[in-house]
Amino acid sequence: AQSVTQLDSQVPVFEEAPVELRCNYSSSVSVYLFWYVQYPNQGLQLLLKYLSGSTLVKGINGFEAEFNKSQTSFHLRKPSVHISDTAEYFCAVTSGGGFKTIFGAGTRLFVKA
């Protein structure tokens, strides 16, 4: 069975500092991986996705993520965060064996001035 673990429930960081939000998954088959962002009282928006090919994926708002098959990880990074990046971030996985998307519990990113 698939599962997704987001290793940090909250990540505080100062503005203009780099950030990494960690995500590990488990699946016995090939996977497709996604990161979504949720601003307060809104739905989720797609940040980026890994389907195949290059393991480094670039998304919107300067975010990128790296797929590491041996470590079953898909960590999200940004070299310099802004106050406006304060939000909750969700890692999600679907597998080649089924259609259902499994979401992690979310990581709340706080960017401080």
Partner 1 sequence: DGGITQSPKYLFRKEGQNVTLSCEQNLNHDAMYWYRQDPGQGLRLIYYSHIVNDFQKGDIAEGYSVSREKKESFPLTVTSAQKNPTAFYLCASSKSTENNQPQHFGDGTRLSIL
Q: Can you give the binding site for partner 1, defined by CB under 8 A?
A: 9, 32, 34, 36, 41-46, 49, 51, 90, 94-96, 98-101, 103-106
Residue type, 48: L
C-beta of 73: minimal distance to partner 1 in Å? 18
Q: Which helix (H) or strand (E) holds 82?
A: none
For partner 1, which is the closer residue by CB, 15 or 110? 110
The torsion defined by the Cα of 20, 76, 81 and 36, in degrees rounded to 10, comes to -140
The C-alpha atoms of residue 19 and residue 37 are separated, in whole angstroms, by 15
C-beta of 67: minimal distance to partner 1 in Å? 14
C-beta of 49: minimal distance to partner 1 in Å? 6
For partner 1, which is the closer residue by CB, 58 or 80? 58
Please give the structure tokens belonging to residue 92: 């999600």
